């Protein structure tokens, strides 16, 4: 019975969260230089962290449900904390 419950949690709750986190987001660094009065971004792209609120909005689930999925994925050593959010390990 417990194996079935673990499979259910993984298949229907945790796997969609993990699949979304696998698609890494990058943002431009805020380092700006001025050239002839025009700001030019000189920074390298940095990886953005996924927050529980963003994941909940994207997957149409509650933040509490997403938080529990994130805790299970963290316990399985599949994700890690990163800049006040989560990313793939």
Read off the pLDDT of residues 23-68 as tens digits, 9 standing for 90 and up.
887 777 666 565 565 656 666 677 788 999 999 999 999 999 999 9
Residue ranges per structural domain of the chain: 2-88
- Answer whether 8's CB lies under 8 Å from 14's CB: no
Q: What is the pLDDT of residue 31?
A: 61
pLDDT tier for residue 21 given thresholds of 50, 70 and 90: very high
Question: 2-88 has which CATH code?
Answer: 1.10.10
Tokens representing residue 43 in the block: 């920074």
Please enumerate in sequence order all residues whose Cβ is within 8 A of that of 31, keeping only pairs 6 or more positions apart, or say none: 41, 42, 43
Between 72 and 31, residue with greater pLDDT: 72
pTM of the model: 0.77
């Amino acid at each position: 019975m417990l194996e079935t419950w673990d499979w259910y949690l993984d298949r229907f709750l945790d796997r969609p969260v993990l699949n979304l986190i696998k698609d890494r987001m990058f943002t431009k660094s805020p380092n700006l230089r001025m050239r002839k009065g025009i700001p030019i971004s000189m920074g390298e792209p940095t990886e953005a962290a996924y927050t529980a609120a963003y994941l909940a909005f994207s997957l149409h689930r509650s933040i509490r449900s997403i938080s529990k999925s994130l805790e299970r994925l963290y316990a399985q050593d599949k994700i890690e904390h990163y800049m006040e959010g989560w990313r793939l390990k």
